[in-house]
A and B are shown apart, each in its own frame.
Chain A
């Protein structure tokens, strides 16, 4: 039965995987992580360095140049155009996922590329967000006709926090990793499915924005805004009240997780990548076993496969959450700790760098290879119908561009860097939460275990199967 399950590169059918990281590198990586961790334990700075981000505005002229109305209209139009291009290519283009603009654009260029931009430049997606652009245009037209701004009929229930966005992100990943693999050969994600999903999400988002207000929904429910917003907390740039400013990198993340659902969002980020890595290695046999059992019960192969994968996806998310909460519970054993829930929220942001590290380690090579396709044949021939708009339709992906060694070192470096950054943020937070550096250090032995667990899990997954 196992031979039915083809290794899909993240539901994208690229036909190439990374070699698993070799044992010696795994050993070096894991040792480095442990050494770094013990050093981190012994270092104790006395004052919190990240409790305020030291934001200060850049010159008025530069700020206006980058965040001005004209720029906003152009970026918004680009966003709407790209959304339209995805829907059009998905519906009118070829069925072959790897040759259709829609699939690679949504799941690689947008989904991974926007994370990189968010970390480096801040909340770039806000400017390009097609749903924000559409809603604001419609709002402006409404104001013109009605003579007054539209006031949303419902108040957003604050206790829902970021949970609607978490649901959106999990659904997006589920489509990519579970729905796309039918189990009956290398099907990959159908471009028409991507187009349908984009249309459905557009309708859902615009309705929610009408009900709760554009800005409220962007901050709480619009999955991509909230997801990229999380990564943008690490960035050295932020637009505050319309003014562009520079701030200390990483520092803004400190207060990010106060809103309910934030822990779930970081867990979903790490859990999704973990599942993608595990489904081709660690989980492959259990998924196959459950598949066999479900088909014995009379389920069709596609339904059985999706159910089996969904179960293990849910288990992975639960497992990642369990590791984090175990660490928080450990910290709680220290006398004078805050309540569990509050403590959990105090440290959730320390997992953002781990999430970034997981993404970088798992998708670095896919991103480099798929972007070659994006900017050559998928650009010149977006529908896969033989057109050649920019003369690059006949170029291909150069798989020789990255050697296996380069990929391995990038992966291990990403995980170790994420680990160190996470420890840094956690220690800094502990000083504020626990008051004195001594107790902060003691509480941090638990966060250290959490970080070591995540980093070694990341390394372990890469050493098993490097999908």
Chain B
């Protein structure tokens, strides 16, 4: 009696792990289609303190070129974290990025609104995923 209950518990654990696996495996399949083509630059407009259309996902593989145009409606510094590339632009102008993805990971692209020469805390406009 006792050992049967234990065995049941063990089986339940195994099943739980299998179910977990299944969910994760299935979840992964669906998210593959969102890759952005790297041929044309990804264009992002930043208006009223937020990126139009939400935070953009840019998926590339290591060694791929990353091309990115960010156009804020305020004077700002556009900053690719990790790669530490920053461009200052005037309101309405476009900050153009063209670099090679050399470091793997998930990196933030942020717009820092410039106020009187100093910068305010950044707002994320894109997420750069560099896969191996």
Contacts and interface: CB of A to CB of B under 8 A. Distances in A.
Given A15-B82, A30-B20, A404 B107 contact: no
B79 to A, nearest CB: 8
Nearest to A335: B2
B110 interface: yes
A288 to B, nearest CB: 13
Contacts of A402: 104
A399 B103 contact: yes
Contacts of A59: none
B63 to A, nearest CB: 11
A17 B104 CA distance: 9
Contact of A16 (B2, B82, B123, B131): B82
The secondary-structure label for the interface of chain A is: mixed
Nearest to B107: A16
Interface in A412-451: 442, 445-446, 448-449
Interface residues of A, number: 44
A45 to B, nearest CB: 20
A403 B104 contact: yes
Interface in A233-282: none
B106 A186 contact: no
A3 B48 CA distance: 14
Given A3-B55, A186-B122, A442 B103 contact: no
A400 interface: yes
Given A449-B13, A460-B24, A17 B105 contact: yes
B106 A466 contact: yes
Interface residues of B, number: 40
Interface stretch (A18-26, A134-142, A167-175, A340-348): A18-26
A185 B20 CA distance: 33
Interface stretch (B4-12, B65-73, B87-95): B4-12
Contact of A18 (B24, B54, B105, B108): B105
B9 to A, nearest CB: 6
Interface string B12-49: 01100100110011001000000000000000000000
Interface of A: 3, 6-7, 14-19, 22-23, 26-27, 30, 34, 185-188, 330, 333-335, 365, 396-400, 402-405, 442, 445-446, 448-449, 452-453, 456, 460, 463, 466
Interface of B: 2-3, 5-6, 9-10, 13-14, 17, 20-21, 24-25, 28, 50-51, 54-55, 62, 81-84, 102-108, 110, 121-124, 127, 129-132
